[in-house]
Amino acid sequence: MQLTYRGANYEYDIPTVDMVEGEVAGKYRGQSWNYRYPRHIPVPKKYGGTNHSAKRDFQAGSRDAAAASAPYSAVEPSPTVKEVAQVHRANICSILDRRQQVAKAKGDSRLLRLLEIEWKQMAC
């Protein structure tokens, strides 16, 4: 495609992106339409339900299953609530520790007392 910017002509080739169709998102004028994702981005899983893209691959049957499931092989399982809570608690404790160090460096005894109370409540 020939383009011009401030009198300078240049040729621009639109890059092609390999797209993967996701689940059916809805209907418009009687036609189904799907989400589309670039192949390098994993298709997100739905929370609390079945993965519709895996269901679609299973229903395809005659297609090559290895090629159809290739984009989904890199998706890691989502963390459990317990794992997320542990990471969250560890982050809060590290922030609290850093705040205590800064309060000690500044010599702010009032803030140190408040942070010690918060530390006891968290039981880090």
Q: Looking at per-residue confidence, does 74 or 37 come out higher?
A: 37
Residue 62's pLDDT band (boundaries 50, 70, 90)?
very low
Most confident of 19-23, 69-73, 107-111: 107-111
Q: Looking at per-residue confidence, does 76 or 115 come out higher?
A: 115
Task: Give the CA radius of gyration of the chain.
Answer: 26
pLDDT at 6 over 50: yes
Q: Looking at per-residue confidence, does 83 or 58 come out higher?
A: 83
